[in-house]
Amino acid sequence: MEFLYGIGILVAVIIVFLVIYAATCIRIVSQAKAYVLERFGKHHRTWNAGFHLKAPFIDRVVQVVNLREQVLDFKPQAVITKDNVKMGVDSAVFFQITDPYAFTYGIQNPFLAIENLTSTALRNIFGEMELDESLTSRDLINTKLRAVLDEATDPWGIKVNRVELKSIVPPNNIQEAMEKQMRAERERRAVLLEAEGEKASAVLRAEGLKKSRVLEAEADKEARILQAEAEKEAQIRRAEGEAEAILKVQDATAEGLRLLNAANPTKEVLTIKSLEALAQVADGQATKLIIPSELQSLASMTAAFTETMNSVKEN
């Protein structure tokens, strides 16, 4: 009985061990990962995301591959430019594994290979450029480096998506020279901007003075025009007033003659009026007055004028 009891315990232990081992043969592959499986030391298959069952004792998972995009941040690499300037370049490579089989069996240490390849490619690219060109051609360097790495890593099942130069550090003396150059350039730009500002200010002042003079000339011209128009209007009004005064004087004279004619004056009255007219003439500034010797003739002329006026009225 004891022997049978011992055999039962051994069988139970074996069964528990087999169950546990069988449980370990069940694998669930998560998203963005891949398992590379070998059978008897030879590649058998690649498991993608999902449920999988491994054959016990004969299958073995040799590589778990991360299919997401990854980044390798390398230590600064020493490079020498075409004009023999030594610099430190810090770079980062963004890549993605596209073929788990090639990644597992293509190269022993792919990350170390990418680092060494990046260092070599950087030295070659910077060796073809001078210092100034290398400092201003980051995009060109990134493009060239990516093309080199992508072509070299393709047989390893790796796709290089992009390469970025994080920093380019020239020697201290070069940095000091560059800082001096930048300060001189900033000072030159400041002087240039100040000169341009003064020039623009002078131009604006000249334009403002010109406009002011033009406005003053226009205002003076307009004032002269208005003054001329006022003088013209005053002359017209004076002329109209003088003409009106002359007309009134003529009307008064005509009215006086009419009244005189209506009164049928005698020759003696006409003679007296003639003498009054001569007296008015003599009332001026003249120092001498010549009186006709025959006032009778003057009276006769006045009588003739009166008769003429009467005949005009009768007609």
Query: Residue 66 belongs to what H/E stretch?
Result: strand 59-66
Q: Determine the pLDDT at residue 78.
A: 87
State the CB neighbour count (10 A cutoff) for residue 31: 9
Q: Is the pLDDT of residue 275 over 90?
A: no
Compute the C-alpha angle 189/195/201, nearest 5°: 135
Model confidence at 114, pLDDT cuts 50, 70, 90, reads very high
Q: Is the pLDDT of residue 194 over 90?
A: no
Domains along the sequence of the chain with CATH:
2-66 (2.30.30), 70-170 (3.30.479.30), 264-284+294-315 (no CATH)
Q: Determine the pLDDT at residue 146.
A: 92
Q: Determine the pLDDT at residue 97.
A: 93
**DSSP H helical ranges for the chain:** 2-24, 100-105, 110-127, 131-135, 138-153, 172-262, 267-282, 295-314
Model confidence at 312, pLDDT cuts 50, 70, 90, reads very low
pLDDT in tens, 225-250: 888 888 888 888 888 888 787 777 67
Q: Is the pLDDT of residue 86 over 50?
A: yes
What is the average pLDDT across 151-173? 88
